[in-house]
Amino acid sequence: MRTLTGIQPSGSLHIGNYFGAIKPALTAQADGDCFFFIADYHSMTSLSDGPRRRANTREAALDWLACGIDPARSVFWKQSDVPEVCELMWILGTLAPMGLLERAHSYKDKVARGLSASFGLFAYPVLMAADILLFDAERVPVGKDQKQHVEMTRDLAIKFNQAYGQTFTIPEHEERYGVATVPGLDGQKMSKSYGNTLEIFGEEKALRQKIMSIVMDSRSREEPKSDAEKNTAIQLLRLVAPEDVATDCEARLRAGGLGYGDLKKVLFEHYWEFFAPFRQKRAELAADPAYVDGVLADGAARAREVASGVLQRVRQAAGLSR
């Protein structure tokens, strides 16, 4: 079973990325063939600063490796090192109905949040379909926000296969292990481009301040039944603390025996402890500045080999090859 997932270097990786995509992908690494990439072409839809992209890409690679990617088992590369994906995007784009793209939630959310509506942002799901289909991926662990894009990928693959003959593997959206949507500091989906994130590798003081600034829904005391859904701090605590700690805090909060400030302090402690081994691994990896470049260069060569085989198949089917 081949697993593939990507993360944009549009900012520092956060716990939404971790619980939505990284953790389930790493679970897959234990028993399968894995392809992980840093989606730097995608990040151009929200970030137009070259030096920052270059720095973010490096940081994202270190973050992800520190979380547990094993480059000896998995293929790990940066998207733009395999530019074949752009050719496949064009090919798939010719089959992507406008109506389908216009219904994309992610596009609509980002435009509603003030991102400029470029062709690139609109075409994002087609590039994502190319990312997935170029590697014959079978399962794609992503957060809920990307589920619709995986469905679009399936539609495009089926359409291509119908038009040109059996060419693509149809991927599954993988939701067995992932957390659908991790809320951000403001209670909305945590997103790099929304500035509401808790970074996996943030500084202690800044993270503490961020956690203390989490927006709490004052209604959650009056409507105890909906506490867990509305209370961002409790939802985050459930991710990083043992279950009994979260359950106990929730019960005390409802009974009025735990204030929001104290709840946030408990959250910070568990958060900091949960990621401690990852921080240690990251420090070790960062000590060798050539390490990340070496891993990505090796990954690019391995990814390109698979990609060129699939693209050849596509060109053949579409009548593009001689």
- Confirm if 29 and 249 have CB atoms less than 8 A apart: no
Identify the active-site residue in 23, 110, 147, 210.
Answer: 110
- Give catalytic status of residue 192 as yes or no: yes
Please name the residue ranges forming H helices in the chain: 15-17, 23-29, 40-43, 50-67, 84-93, 98-102, 105-112, 119-133, 147-164, 204-212, 227-230, 232-240, 243-254, 260-274, 276-286, 290-318
- With the CA atoms of 142, 145, 148 and 154 taken in that order, what torsion angle do they form, in degrees rounded to the nearest 10? -20
Of 147, 189, 210, 264, catalytic: 189
What string marks each residue from 170 to 189 as x (binds ligand ATP by CB under 6 A) or -? ---------x-xx------x
Residues 15-34 that bind ligand ATP (CB under 6 A): 16-17, 20-21
Residue written as token pair 């998995």: 74
The catalytic position among 23, 78, 147, 192 is 192
CB 154, CB 169: distance < 8 Å: no
12 binds ligand ATP (CB under 6 A): no
What type of residue sits at position 45? Answer: T
- Tell me, yes or no, if 23 is annotated catalytic: no
Among 67, 133, 190, 311, binds ligand ATP (CB under 6 A): 190
Q: How far is the CB of 252 from ligand ATP (least distance, A)?
A: 27
266 touching ligand ATP, by CB under 6 A: no
- Whose tokens are 């927006």? That residue is 215
The two structure tokens encoding residue 279? 């921080």
Q: How far is the CB of 1 from ligand ATP (least distance, A)?
A: 18
Q: DSSP letter at 76?
A: E
Alpha-carbon distances of 285 from 79, 134, 219, 280, rounded to whole Å: 22, 30, 45, 9
Would you say 191 or 231 has its CB closer to ligand ATP? 191
Which residue in 191, 196, 220, 231 binds ligand ATP (CB under 6 A)? 191
Smallest distance, Å, CB 190 to ligand ATP?
Answer: 4
Binding region for L-tryptophan: 131
Q: Is 225 a catalytic residue?
A: no
Pattern 45-84, ligand ATP, x by CB under 6 A: -x--------------------------------------
**Residue 145 binds to ligand ATP (criterion: CB under 6 A):** yes
Does 146 bind ligand ATP (CB under 6 A)? Our answer is yes
* Shortest CB 124 distance to ligand ATP, Å: 9
C-alpha distance across the termini of the chain, in Å: 32
Asked if residue 22 lies in contact with residue 64, where contact means CB atoms within 8 angstroms, the answer is: yes
Nearer to ligand ATP, 80 or 191 (CB): 191
Nearer to ligand ATP, 133 or 182 (CB): 182
Closest CA to 43 of 103, 131, 102, 108: 131
Using rule CB under 6 A, residue 139 touches ligand ATP: no
Residue with smallest beta-carbon separation from ligand ATP: 20
44-61 CB burial, b ≥16 within 10 A, e <16:
bbbbeeeeebeebbbbbb
**Cβ closer to ligand ATP: 17 or 153?**
17
**Closest CB to ligand ATP among residues 5, 153:** 5
Residues in Cβ contact with 182 at an 8 Å cutoff, skipping those fewer than 6 apart: 14, 15, 16, 19, 20, 143, 189, 190, 235, 236, 239
Q: Any idea which residues carry the catalytic annotation?
A: 110, 189, 192
Site residues, ligand ATP (CB under 6 A)? 5, 7-8, 10, 16-17, 20-21, 46, 142-143, 145-146, 179, 181-182, 189-193
